[in-house]
Amino acid sequence: NLIVRKSKAFVDNHLLEDITLAKVAAEIHVSPGYLSRVFLKEIGENFSDYVIRNKIEYAQKLLCDTKKKVYEISAEIGYTNPHYFSKLFKERVGLTPLEYRNR
C-alpha cells in the first residue's frame, strides 16, 4: 500500500524527531484517522507501536555500538524523560537498557 510505504519511509527518515500520527498524515496528505486504520490493517500494529518499536531498535544499536549514557540515548531518540525511556525499553525488550548493554 502506497500510503503505508510513504508513512514508513517518513518515520524511518525522521526517527530521531518527535513523530506523531498527525504529522505523518499531513506529510502524505491523508487524514490521521484514515492513516491509523490503513496502517493497522496493512502492518498489523498500530502507528505508535511501530514508531516505538523502531526507536527502541535504534536505541539497542546505540547501546551496543556506543559508550553513550542511557540518558543521552534517550534524548537522542526523542524521549526527554530517561526514566520513561527505561520503563518503555524494559516493557519492550525485557531488560533495562543497562542490563541490555551489559549482557
The pLDDT > 90 percentage for the chain reads 92
In whole numbers, what is the pLDDT of the chain averaged over residues?
Answer: 95
29/47 Cα distance (integer angstroms): 16
* Number of other CB atoms surrounding residue 55 within 10 Å: 23
pTM value is 0.89
CB atoms within 10 A of CB 7: 25
Quote the pLDDT of residue 1.
86
pLDDT in tens, 21-58: 999 999 999 999 999 999 999 999 999 999 999 999 99
Instruction: Specify the pLDDT at position 65.
Output: 95
Cell of 69: 549514557
74 conformational bin, left if phi > 0, alpha if psi -120 to 50, beta if neither: alpha
Using pLDDT thresholds of 50, 70 and 90, give the confidence band for residue 76.
very high
